[in-house]
Structures are given as structure tokens and as C-alpha cells.
């Protein structure tokens, strides 16, 4: 994905809030628009990370910020992920609102001590007396042939750490609303940008707005089966719902938007109506967020289930470089539809 492409008006997924008359904006362009607007509004917000200044980030979704705000608020850092997160933690504790970028989600592993043992725990260690308004942005997901070390979806690892909020927008509308909420949040958040979505467009208001963290969204109402889809998989699940509707299967599609905190009440309510549940995510199936959702549903809504809970996810394997193999690796609409048909 070229940085230039994220600002093109490519036709992509559309939020349920959209219509033909409304302004459309690309997923990647929504990142830079939100950052610029919130940096104009709040001088305590700054951005730091590898190549975020001169080059606008590895995918270009910070392009144009450094010329407007200067290199003291849009800071190019060394290639040192632990130092980048440490910078953000220190600045946040001192009252600033840093946004620090880790380029690829895979690189959170390099900075995991800072994320898990410092950022996530400082408020607890200080008895609630410390605020940590830190936003970590990173690009996750496969689909660009970036191979095994630059394509992972590691949200389940992050969700397991108390003290972190983990956000996965599915379209440009959610990018703007959720990123605004993350930056204004007084606790550490991890904002996961999907690389494959960067050029997709949908309706996005010009003004800043917030989507509350922890509130899911019913993307499509239905009566026969609940589909819970994470991040980019909302697009694929929507395609599966269209396929299944022609077969007389009416799917209700839920987009959690944030996976920590998780809006489990919304999912329980849907399952109590449909009696069936299939969970879809791009990460590997074993130990994924789908397993946690399935466990909570069987604890809270077991009596409503008409069939075992289904999961559609990636196989337990590193992500292949080969485009043909990568296409087989990542769930798509046909695989999701098959997963629904297999409920019994």
C-alpha cells in the first residue's frame, strides 16, 4: 500500500451511519485529519515515532503533520521501540497527551515490558493517583504480503493485560470517533490500524466526535444467527451475511469496535434473540479473542444457544509471504458463510 493511495477516493466499506449525500473520507486519511484537528484543539497532544515526521509514517497516515506543527510536536525517533513507549509514558505522567507510533503491530513485542509492566500498571501502582493519557498507534493485520514478522494480529495478547484499552476500528468513521476518544482518555489505549483498510472510504463528519470506548455497534440486524466480527473482518462478515441472506439465513452482525473493554452485554442480547453465534477474527484461532467471547457467552447465555458456538479465524501458523497462501490464510466471506452453515 503506497502512502499516496490512502488519500485517494477509493470505493470501500461504508459505515451504517452513511448515505450517498454525505462526505466520504479514506480510512488512512481519517487518521491524519483526526490528529491534525485534535492537535489544534489541545496543545498537550504530540506525536512521536519512527518516520512519523518527515515521511508521515510508514503508510503515510501522519503525512502533513510535521509541516504544520513542527518537529517539537511531531517527533521522529530512533529505531528503539522501548524508548518510544518510555518517552510516551514519561510525558503522559507529566501531564501531556502523547500519541506514540510503533509502525507495525509485530513491534509491540520489542516494547512489551514498557507496555505491560509500566504503562498498564502505573495507575494501579500509584493507587489511582496517576493519570496516563497515552495512545499507542500501530498497524496490524495481513493482506499486503508483508510476511510473518510484519502482518500479525496480536490483540488477544494485549487484551490479557489489565490496565490497557484495545481499539480496532473497522472503517474511517470509527477511526475518527475512536481515535478522538483514545487521545482524550486518561488511561493507556492501543489503537490498531488495519493496513488493508487504508484506502477504503465511508462517511466521516468533518468535526471531531467521540465513539465511547467499550460500546459495540449492531452493523446489521437479523434473527437467525449472530456474527461478531473484529476489525477488518466486519467487511468479510457483511459479505457472508449477503451470501447467506440469499439462502434464507438472516444474520445479525455485531462490531465490538473495542475488544478491551468488550461490550459483552450487546452480544448476549443478540444471542438471546438469534440462538446462534459465530465469531470472526483475523488473528489465529487458538487463544484468540473469539475464545474469550465464546467462554463468556456460554457462561451468560448458554440456555439461549441452539448450537455450539462457531469460530472462524486464521490457522495456527506464521503468516505466509506468498500472496496466494496469504489469501487462503486470512478468513473471507465464503469461509465465514461456511462457518455459519456448519452450525448444528
Among candidate residues 55, 150, 203, 281, the one labeled active-site is: 150
Residues 6 or more apart in contact with residue 255 via CB below 8 angstroms: 170, 174, 216, 217, 218, 219, 229, 230, 234
Please say if the pLDDT value at position 17 is more than 50: no
Relative to beta strand 201-203, strand 24-26 is antiparallel
Measured distance CA(26)–CA(8) in Å, rounded: 7
**In whole angstroms, how far apart are CA 66 and each of 146, 165, 203, 254?**
27, 27, 26, 37
The domains of the chain are located at: 3-203, 217-341
Residues in a beta bridge with 24: 203
Identify whether the C-beta of residue 269 lies closer than 8 Å to the C-beta of residue 254: no
Query: What mean pLDDT, rounded, does the chain reach?
Result: 94
Residue 61 pLDDT: 96
DSSP 8-state assignment for residue 160: T
> Cβ of 148: how many Cβ atoms within 10 Å?
13
pLDDT tens-digit series, residues 297-337:
999 999 999 999 999 999 999 999 999 999 999 999 999 99
Q: Would you identify the CATH topology of the domain 3-203?
A: Rossmann fold (3.40.50)
DSSP helix/strand/coil, 128? coil
Q: pTM higher than 0.85 for the full model?
A: yes
Residue 21 pLDDT: 62
Residue 210 pLDDT: 98
Q: Would you identify the CATH topology of the domain 217-341?
A: Rossmann fold (3.40.50)
Query: Comparing 3-203 with 217-341, is the CATH topology the same?
Result: yes
Tally the residues of the chain.
Answer: 344
Q: Is 150 a catalytic residue?
A: yes
pLDDT tens-digit series, residues 112-121:
999 999 999 9
Residue 2 pLDDT: 45
DSSP codes joined into one string, 6-28: GGS-------TT--TTS-EEEHH
Amino acid at each position: 500500500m503506497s502512502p499516496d493511495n490512502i488519500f485517494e477516493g477509493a470505493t470501500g466499506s461504508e459505515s451504517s451511519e452513511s448515505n450517498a449525500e454525505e462526505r466520504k473520507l479514506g480510512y488512512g486519511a481519517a487518521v491524519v485529519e483526526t490528529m491534525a484537528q485534535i492537535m489544534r484543539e489541545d496543545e498537550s497532544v504530540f506525536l512521536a515515532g519512527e518516520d512519523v515526521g518527515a515521511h508521515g509514517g510508514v503508510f503515510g497516515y501522519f503525512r502533513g503533520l510535521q509541516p504544520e506543527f513542527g518537529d517539537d510536536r511531531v517527533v521522529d525517533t530512533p529505531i528503539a521501540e522501548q524508548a518510544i513507549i518510555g518517552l510516551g509514558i514519561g510525558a503522559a505522567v507529566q501531564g501531556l497527551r502523547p500519541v506514540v507510533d510503533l509502525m507495525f503491530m509485530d513491534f509491540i513485542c520489542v516494547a512489551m515490558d514498557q507496555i505491560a509492566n509500566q504503562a498498564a500498571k502505573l495507575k494501579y501502582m500509584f493507587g489511582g493517583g496517576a493519570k496516563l493519557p497515552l495512545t499507542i498507534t500501530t498497524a496490524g493485520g495481513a493482506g499486503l504480503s508483508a510476511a510473518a514478522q510484519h502482518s500479525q494480529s496480536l490483540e488477544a495478547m494485549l487484551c490479557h493485560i489489565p490496565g490497557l484499552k484495545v481499539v480496532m476500528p473497522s472503517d474511517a468513521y470509527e477511526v475518527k470517533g475512536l481515535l478522538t476518544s483514545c487521545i482524550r482518555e486518561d488511561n493507556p489505549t492501543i489503537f490498531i490500524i488495519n493496513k488493508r483498510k487504508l484506502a477504503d472510504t465511508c462517511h466521516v463528519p468533518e468535526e471531531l466526535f467521540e465513539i465511547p470506548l467499550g460500546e459495540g455497534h449492531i452493523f446489521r440486524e437479523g434473527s437467525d444467527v449472530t456474527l461478531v466480527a473484529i476489525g477488518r473482518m466486519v467487511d468479510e462478515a457483511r459479505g457472508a451475511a449477503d451470501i447467506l441472506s440469499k439462502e434464507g439465513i438472516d444474520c445479525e452482525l455485531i462490531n465490538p469496535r473495542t475488544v478491551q473493554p468488550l461490550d459483552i452485554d450487546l452480544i448476549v442480547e443478540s444471542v438471546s434473540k438469534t440462538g446462534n453465534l459465530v465469531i470472526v477474527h483475523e488473528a489465529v484461532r487458538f487463544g484468540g479473542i473469539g475464545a474469550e467471547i465464546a467462554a463468556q457467552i456460554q457462561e451468560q447465555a448458554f440456555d439461549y444457544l441452539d448450537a455450539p458456538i462457531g469460530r472462524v479465524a486464521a490457522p495456527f501458523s506464521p503468516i505466509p509471504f506468498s500472496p496466494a497462501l496469504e489469501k487462503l490464510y486470512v478468513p473471507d466471506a465464503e469461509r465465514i458463510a461456511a462457518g455459519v452453515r456448519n452450525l448444528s
